[in-house]
A and B are shown apart, each in its own frame.
Chain A
């Protein structure tokens, strides 16, 4: 690659802004704003009351402060909690009616929405600021009884399902950001896969933050009924801005007997500039419950963006023989910070969990793996295997591993392995000697380091993720 081309790719590719007229709620957080959101989404009364309950709760809880990356105080009264393109107000019935500007935005992000250009084999829900703007392949999924729609639509059309499961995994009292999200969440995806159905395609949501000074409060709920299977993937990007923007999502997964949910994230929010100015605060609560026996939930995340990433996708292994997995790549460069990991809560017998975490730090970045393996008294013969590998590039970055283990059952087996290494000069030399230049050599070694996690991604996304890994680290080795 020529030097100039390299410079170009080093920039954040998705940093553009879409110039579109939007409808916003006034700034600030209060009951009226919540009523505004609920009303504009045409929500039933129970939903409004649920939000208001969360809001009341919020008044008595404090923001947590135990995480490693600290951030300046967020003025919650100064944020916008709702912003939507004007054209989405009267929701278009099919994709041909969607504002061409939005279609163009997603096309630029590599997500074609138009009927003729749809990605084959992947159904997409596109969320722009606070609303879903389009969902593809709806009909094909409906034929199988699968519901895949914006959660705002599900609240209207599948009220009983939402009412039953919303907050059943992450209660509104959980912690500050979960409570905040419960009060003001705007959109996200809803998935229901009926008993015995294997979802025939990847389901995917693409989150885009566009408006400035706006918080994005995503809410996603996925329910896999007995013996069903679904693979879901989310992607995220945002424009380049000097301000820090908040994305505080709640994602809940429920898997019944013999069901499997595979949830993958490719997170590429704007990371801030070279000096650490701007970027997204990605404070996310993700939790799944393996309610039924033999159920399985598998989280895979590739976290390359955001100024601060703070999340622990977790599994509550309630059903006997249920399985929880967490595969993670967290890459921090320049001044990015990440504090991420998982919690595996073993409640049922013979429950198994596996944690594979790969942290890569470059520049002045700081990367923490924090994880909990909690084995309850009744979880006989539970097993956990944890492997945390950290790779440092340069001398100014940091890597930390904070594993907590609580084991109350003597028949359980918990294994933990951790390594921290520097990118090895001799490995680079070996690759150079075989004709690979520095960038190629770094890419090869890093991709090797991340292999176990990249392999977990659906095929269509593995290549993209691999490229993203390369781009995130470009220029970090001399």
Chain B
């Protein structure tokens, strides 16, 4: 599904990712852990196609290079990023945004636009499945949302758009246990042999709820260690320093 080979990324002449290799197969869930500033968000942004980076190395999705594909096309092909800091867009109704988003993706796939009734049903189903209060959907997109509400809203969007590759950028940071459970539920209920996940986290805590197939430790722009869930516990105990 995703194949990253010798990825090097710079911004403003500063190299941030320094030769990163990672392969994610369909059905796999990979966790990336790393200290602040190690390049986790940069990796997520490069995968989703944010502008402004200088990139070398290979970046393939379903066998095709992503490098020249703009952000919206990547989204339309099934790459989803749950933002570390979801953006506020004043005056834009959350429900409306979700529907516009879903329809853009459906249109790109050559599917019919969803009608209002079916959309409403879909939203009802997903919010109740996750235990999210439907009320946030009638508010302006992320405006005045608490940290937890913003993150839950990201996961709700993930559920509704049903992507092939979901990247979660520190979706767990700053959440209480209940919110964390909702996030985990969102991920776990979507896992199947076709869907892949890249879960970026700073803490091991999330991995108590989401069982990764692989754990990678990112440090100074490189993956310095790869293992299975036990690696996360080790990191938690010994800290990132030891692994360098």
Proximity bits, B79-106, A CB within 8 Å = 1, else 0: 0110100110111100001001110110
Proximity bits, B93-124, A CB within 8 Å = 1, else 0: 00001001110110010000000000000000
Q: Contact: A448 with B89, CB < 8 Å?
A: yes
Which B residues touch A431, using CB under 8 A? 89, 101
Q: Contact: A444 with B97, CB < 8 Å?
A: yes
Judged by a CB distance under 8 angstroms, whether A376 is at the interface is no
Complexed CA–CA distance, A120 and B61 (Å): 53
Q: Contact: B108 with A435, CB < 8 Å?
A: yes
Q: Contact: A429 with B51, CB < 8 Å?
A: yes
Q: Contact: B72 with A436, CB < 8 Å?
A: yes
Q: Contact: A440 with B104, CB < 8 Å?
A: yes
Judged by a CB distance under 8 angstroms, whether B48 is at the interface is yes
Which B residues touch A434, using CB under 8 A? 75, 97, 101, 104, 157, 161
Q: Of residues 404 to 438 in A, which have CB atoms within 8 Å of B's CB atoms?
A: 424-427, 429-438
Q: Contact: A427 with B89, CB < 8 Å?
A: yes
Which A residues touch B49, using CB under 8 A? 432-433
Q: Of residues 140 to 172 in B, which have CB atoms within 8 Å of A's CB atoms?
A: 140-141, 157, 161
Give the residue name and chain of the A residue nearest to B90 (CB).
A448
Q: Contact: A424 with B87, CB < 8 Å?
A: yes
Interface centre among A435, A438, A447 (most CB of B within 10 A): A435
Q: How many residues of B contact A (CB 8 A)?
A: 29
Contact with A436, one of B80, B100, B141 (Cβ below 8 angstroms): B100
Q: Contact: B100 with A440, CB < 8 Å?
A: yes
Query: Is chain A's interface secondary structure helix, strand, loop, or mixed overall?
Result: helix
Contact with A432, one of B70, B89, B90, B140 (Cβ below 8 angstroms): B70
Which A residues touch B75, using CB under 8 A? 432-435
Known contacts A429-B51, A434-B157; is A445 also within 8 Å of B101 by CB? no
Complexed CA–CA distance, A441 and B83 (Å): 17
Q: Contact: A436 with B89, CB < 8 Å?
A: no
Judged by a CB distance under 8 angstroms, whether B173 is at the interface is no
Q: Contact: B97 with A449, CB < 8 Å?
A: no
Q: Contact: A432 with B91, CB < 8 Å?
A: no
Proximity bits, B26-70, A CB within 8 Å = 1, else 0: 000000000000000000000011110000000000000000001
Complexed CA–CA distance, A434 and B86 (Å): 12
Contact with A448, one of B91, B101, B161 (Cβ below 8 angstroms): B91
Q: Contact: A430 with B161, CB < 8 Å?
A: no
Q: Contact: A429 with B90, CB < 8 Å?
A: no
Q: Contact: A433 with B48, CB < 8 Å?
A: yes
Q: Nearest chain A CB to B87's CB is how many angstroms away?
A: 4
Give the residue name and chain of the B residue nearest to A426 (CB).
B87
Q: Nearest chain A CB to B72's CB is how many angstroms away?
A: 5
Contact with B92, one of A438, A444, A452 (Cβ below 8 angstroms): A444
Q: Contact: A444 with B104, CB < 8 Å?
A: no
Which A residues touch B161, using CB under 8 A? 434-435
Judged by a CB distance under 8 angstroms, whether B76 is at the interface is yes
Q: Contact: B89 with A444, CB < 8 Å?
A: yes
Known contacts A435-B105, A437-B104; is A430 also within 8 Å of B91 by CB? no
Q: Nearest chain A CB to B237's CB is how many angstroms away?
A: 35
Which B residues touch A424, using CB under 8 A? 87
A-to-B contact residues, CB < 8 Å = 424-427, 429-438, 440-441, 444-445, 447-452
In the complex, besides A433-B71, A433-B80, A435-B102, 17 extra interface pairs with C-beta distance below 8 angstroms are A431-B89, A432-B49, A432-B70, A433-B83, A434-B101, A435-B104, A435-B105, A436-B72, A436-B101, A444-B100, A447-B92, A448-B89, A448-B90, A448-B91, A448-B92, A448-B141, A451-B92
Q: Which 4 A-B pairs give the minimum distances between C-beta atoms? A: A448-B91, A451-B91, A432-B71, A435-B104
